[in-house]
Amino acid sequence: MTATLDRPSPAAEAPADLVARLRKTYAGGRTRPEAWRRQQLERLRALLTENEGELAAALYADLGKSSSEAFITEVGFTVNEIDVALKHLSAWMRPERVSTPLNAKPAKAYVVREPLGVSLVISPWNYPVQLLLAPVGAALSAGNCVVLKPSELAPATSAAIARLVPRYLDPEAVVVVEGAVPETTALLEQRWDHIFYTGNGTVGRVVARAAAEHLTPVTLELGGKSPVIVAADADVTTAARRIAFGKFLNAGQTCVAPDHVFVAESVHDELLRALAAAIEEFYGKDPAQAKDFGRIVNDRHFARLAGLYDGGGFGRTVTGGSRDPETRYFAPTVVDEVAADAPLMGQEIFGPILPVIPVTGVDAALARINAGDKPLALYAFTKDEDTAQHIIAGTSSGGVTVNHTLLHLTIPTLPFGGVGESGTGAYHGRSGFETFSHRRSVLEKPAGLDVKLLYPPYSALKDKLLRRVL
């Protein structure tokens, strides 16, 4: 599909005019049929699979991602989400029958999912393909028109998306708007039927305030300091490898990356040795030369990480610590004996620095976790099911993975989202379809049979019968 020649480019089209145009498309019913939704999902899938090389090159330019990592975390991940939607779309769209109580019979009650209308998806820079196109796929599966706002901090990927989307998706219903803060601000001034934002809490509050002006529902996928608990009975070698994988993927720039580790004192030293060994196994003796270790997105974020590390508050660096501002390389780093008031513990790290904190046991870790904001993810390593359940019951977080990291968000049957400071709302699989749908209640009664029990005038007999059936 290609855009018509007489339409202004998205950059030249005023936001109010853009939204009005998409509302006209939506009002005409174009996006509601299953055939349209299915076609758009298939075209979105083709965009990803036919242009994987171009997208991988853009991701490398923006973040230093290897082609393998680009496939695993961006292209392949999103294709899987689309495949799930294509497989189940008919079932998701089917009206859901519900029981009808005696007082409403004879009648038929059911729930239909209808599109919300015109949605805005604002994506971050750290996974600029997945975190833009996965929610867009959900919006399309639900029958919405949608505006895509890619992150300006991943400019190569933003340009690739802006070039490819009009070639593959319906330009009357799907539009990309590039730009920075002014363009995003102008978009947020419009009335939307849903806003989906992934990023940090500071901007999340800006989005929520703008949405409140129009009573627009929002999904806010934020972040937080996702903790790890390593119990005394954990398989330490396996735990270290899985923690290192989750932490240093994308150079630590992952919203659900392990932020810090609480480890039982009895296995503290063993874990530190195992973490250092896992980093060397993954990235060699010089991670700066490793093709699978990424770079920090820009100079500002690099300087922030350097400031957190240089701010001290920890006893020693177990491994790493080296960096190169010219290439924005920051080595995979593990620090030990970290104080509660260290700069590293004051904010989400969002980079390749892993604080390790010894604790007397699981309950001490739970107390530290529950003293802070509810995180987006929590990770627990233990061989004991009772201990795992104790950790799950004793905390609150967006999601939990036991004996691994990150993987809960790869399961399309699990809703992914935060709680409290880490966000509101969820998506992936059917949850994404539901996020962009309105669950509309419908009751149908026969026209010819009119039970007069509910109508006045009321008598003692009517009152007695009503109290039995209501």
pLDDT digits (tens, 9 = 90+) for 314-350: 999 999 999 999 999 999 999 999 999 999 999 999 9
* Cα-Cα-Cα-Cα dihedral sign, residues 285, 268, 254, 434: positive
Query: Which letter does DSSP use for residue 374 in this model?
Result: P
Measured between alpha carbons, how far is 13 from 8 in angstroms, rounded to an integer? 6
Measured between alpha carbons, how far is 154 from 362 in angstroms, rounded to an integer? 39
Choose the catalytic residue: 52, 172, 221, 434.
Answer: 221
Walk along the chain (470 residues) and give the pLDDT tens digit of each residue.
333 444 556 667 899 999 999 999 999 999 999 999 999 999 999 999 999 999 999 999 999 999 999 999 999 999 999 999 999 999 999 999 999 988 888 899 999 999 999 999 999 999 999 999 999 999 999 999 999 999 999 999 999 999 999 999 999 999 999 999 999 999 999 999 999 999 999 999 999 999 999 999 999 999 999 999 999 999 999 999 999 999 999 999 999 999 999 999 999 999 999 999 999 999 999 999 999 999 999 999 999 999 999 999 999 999 999 999 999 999 999 999 999 999 999 999 999 999 999 999 999 999 999 999 999 999 999 999 999 999 999 999 999 999 999 999 999 999 999 999 999 999 999 999 999 999 999 999 998 888 888 889 999 998 998 888 87
**Prediction pTM value:** 0.94
Choose the catalytic residue: 255, 348, 421, 434.
Answer: 255
Active site annotation includes 145: no
Tokens read off for 187? 């978009």
The amino acid occupying position 36 is W
Domains of the chain, start order = 15-222+422-442 (3.40.605.10), 227-417 (3.40.309.10)
User: Are 63 and 251 a contacting pair, CB within 8 Å?
Assistant: yes
pLDDT at 452: 84
Tokens read off for 223? 């972040």
The secondary element (H helix, E strand) that includes residue 434 is helix 429-435
Measured between alpha carbons, how far is 297 from 438 in angstroms, rounded to an integer? 37
